[in-house]
Amino acid sequence: MRIALDAMGSDTHPQPELEAVVEASKRWHDPILLIGPEDLLKSSLAHFQYDPNLIQVIHAPEVLHMTDSPARTAKGKAESSMAVGMDLLKNGEAEAFVTAGNTGGAMANALFRLGRIRGVKRPALGTVFPVQDGHAILIDIGANADCRPIYLQQFAVLGAVYAEIVLKKTNPRVGLVSNGEEPGKGNSLVKETFPLLEGSGLNFIGNLEPKELFAGQADVAVTDGFTGNILVKTSEAVAKLLSNLIRSEITASPISSVGGLLSRPAFRRVGVTLDPAEYGAAPLLGVQGLVFIGHGRSDAKALINAIRVAREAVEGGLLSALEIAISSRL
């Protein structure tokens, strides 16, 4: 198996990427393609101990910046690490591509260079996140701010295939994110999507409020990219506000400070449970290739997890399963 990693994606590139490929090559003994400026990467790799047969540097002289417009990154920068990574997928030289670069740039490059799976109206970005006693995938979290019901129906299909193959869920439960549980609740998009999901052949469990989502009642939560983005960012912001509050209240008195010290390992375990770095990167589903987009803040651990998830997707035959699931519903 060959996974390709964008060496220039993360905010502190290429250091986390270098550490990640070296560790991944030791862990899985499969060749990894590291994409970026050849001289820089080769001289940086010289500081590591690794098997040179397992890490292949692929030259990509251009670097994408967060300020580059997505369209420009796709069409104007054909030699960026992002563009070269997509081309490796397209040419079959890699089976999955992992990047922690600009999400808009990754989506534009994927659409422009790989295209969509036949029949897919709009590719969507998923994210796997922790719920009570497990994980769920939320899709779309930002690829499509404005959606039509048929897009959401397809997101449900893409998400369910992902949940089966990567999250190893049998007959995954699919819920439609809404402002009330009862059928008939929702905005007009949700109301129009509901019957499409009922008739989709998926294991549709109906509308899903956030409390049921976080309680683990669904494996796949379907929503438009605007709502999904707000949902994910709200959960991150609330978790941060809460931990700030807890920290400042605990350090406010000597007794609770001691209490805080004694419970520190417990807090650390909670942090691990909630750490997005544990779940790898966000899969871009519906394009003609396996693309995983990590957070710009990704460190080596997050990138290794992303590579691990990408490997599981390749091993499970995710791309052809997605193709089959979509084409069987055309």
Using rule CB under 8 A, residue 238 touches its own copies? yes
Q: How far apart are CA 86 and CA 92, in angstroms?
A: 10
Specify the pairing of strand 124-131 against strand 220-222.
unpaired
Sole window of 46-54, 56-64, 79-87, 252-260 interacting with its own copies (rule: CB under 8 A):
252-260
Q: How far apart are CA 137 and CA 157, in angstroms?
A: 12
Among 115, 119, 183, 210, binds its own copies (CB under 8 A): 210
Using rule CB under 8 A, residue 230 touches its own copies? yes
Among 149, 225, 289, 294, binds its own copies (CB under 8 A): 225
Provide the sign of the torsion angle of the four alpha carbons 175, 180, 183, 189, taken in this order: negative
CA distances 198 to 43, 82, 152, 169, 218, Å, are 56, 38, 12, 20, 15
Among 52, 92, 170, 266, binds its own copies (CB under 8 A): 266
Using rule CB under 8 A, residue 330 touches its own copies? no
Using rule CB under 8 A, residue 71 touches its own copies? no
| Cβ(255)–Cβ(96) below 8 Å | no
Q: Give min distance, CB of 174 to its own copies, in A.
A: 17
Number of amino acids touching its own copies (CB under 8 A): 58
Strands (E), the chain: 3-6, 32-36, 55-59, 96-99, 124-131, 134-139, 173-177, 203-208, 220-222, 282-285, 291-293
Among 12, 234, 320, 328, binds its own copies (CB under 8 A): 234
Q: Is the peptide bond before 140 cis (omega within 30 degrees of 0)?
A: yes
What part of residues 14-53 is at the interface with its own copies (CB under 8 A)? none
Using rule CB under 8 A, residue 150 touches its own copies? no
Report the interface residues with its own copies, using CB under 8 A: 130-132, 142, 145-146, 177, 179, 186-188, 190, 209-211, 213-215, 224-227, 229-231, 233-242, 244-246, 249-250, 252-253, 255-256, 258-267, 269-270, 273-274
